[in-house]
Amino acid sequence: MSGPPAVVAVGGGHGLAATLLATRRFAGRLAAVVSVADDGGSSGRLRRQLGIVPPGDLRKCLVALAEEGSALGAAFEHRFDAEALDGHALGNLVIAGLLSVTGDLQEALDETGRLLGAVGRVLPAAGEPVVLKGHSEAGEIEGQSAVSNTPHIRRVSLVPADPPANPDAVAALEKADLVVIGPGSLFTSVLAAIAVPEIAAALGRTRARRVYVANLGPQAAETAGFDVAAHVAALAAHGVEVDVVVADTAEIALGDLAVPVVVEDLHRVDGGYGHDPGRLAAALSGLVG
């Protein structure tokens, strides 16, 4: 490899945004492969009313990639609190509007990225909305919000079972030097993206080093009682083997892992909860082969 690495981050939600804030510090080409299973909040309302892919996780990633200090990036996170617009984030509405004008989701996201001065691309895992299905001890549950509140999830799948993957997402994974999976809600963000069969297949054949960034702690009820090894086992059960794990063990046990582990303090230095972009960048940049 010559020059800065091509990095692809996989997942959804706040965890994926944290990875992008970290990897933008050292990546050459940078892309996010994002779950499109969200059904709550502003995203869920737009999905139901307009029949579109939920834009919320896509928006979070675009903001994480936006030009530093961008006023527009900050405005994208603004939520209205009046009447019909109550709860909607400006960025969600912009994405929905551009999708309506262009008729093409990836074109709408690329145009949004240009508006924001984004340093990478945001690539939905699938080109259509999908429903997340959880398979638990109590039976099957449908919908991301319902799955997130259900304990003892064994695996997840999608409805439809084999949605068309975004070809740009597949190509990015195949050409990557480093693939970062997580952090984030294991079943409802990370595996919701990997459950697209063509995405899982691309992760299996990529020559990139596949790194799993573990959550800082178990998540009730989704991963209550999980150690890091249980997270890695869940990935394997969905067809994804990782080459190395990055973890902070202050609040979660490692368990019995058969892959190399990098243990670092990854908590935010400002005292907030979540992964600190600088600390995570230092850990990940050292894994570029």
CATH number at residue 84: 3.40.50.10680
Residue 158 tokens read as: 């999608």
User: What is residue 1's predicted lDDT score, i.e. its pLDDT?
Assistant: 61
Amino acid at 69: G
Residue 145 lies in a domain: yes
Question: Mean per-residue pLDDT for 17-39?
Answer: 96
Q: Which residues of 113-148 are buried (b: 16+ CB within 10 A; e: fewer)?
A: bebbebbbbbbbbbbebbebbbbbeeeebebbbebb
Please give the residue range of the domain that contains residue 142. Answer: 7-285
Query: What is the rounded radius of gyration, in angstroms, for the C-alpha atoms of the chain?
Result: 18
Q: What is the pLDDT of residues 206-224, one digit of tens each?
A: 999 999 999 999 988 899 9
Q: What is the maximum span of the chain, computed from C-alpha positions, in angstroms? A: 53
- What H or E segment, with its residue span, contains residue 205? helix 197-205
Residue 158 lies in a domain: yes
Proportion of the chain in helix, strand, coil states, percent, rounded to 5: 40, 20, 40
Residue 112 has pLDDT above 90, yes or no: yes
Torsion angle of C-alpha atoms 239, 241, 219, 279, degrees rounded to 10: -150
Question: Mean per-residue pLDDT for 46-61?
Answer: 93
Query: Length of the chain, please?
Result: 289
Global pTM value: 0.95
Question: Mean per-residue pLDDT for 84-109?
Answer: 94
Residue 236 lies in a domain: yes
Residue 2 lies in a domain: no
Residue 88 lies in a domain: yes
Question: Mean per-residue pLDDT for 68-76?
Answer: 95
Residue-averaged pLDDT of the chain: 95
Question: Mean per-residue pLDDT for 220-244?
Answer: 95
Name the percent of the chain lying above pLDDT 70.
99
Q: What is the pLDDT of residues 168-191, one digit of tens each?
A: 999 999 999 999 999 999 999 999
Enter the DSSP assignment of 196.
Answer: S
Residue 62 lies in a domain: yes
With cut-offs at 50, 70 and 90, classify the pLDDT of residue 271.
confident
With cut-offs at 50, 70 and 90, classify the pLDDT of residue 4.
very high
Residue 248 lies in a domain: yes
Total tally of structural domains belonging to the chain: 1
**Nearest-angstrom CA–CA distance, 62 and 237:** 30
Residue 147 lies in a domain: yes
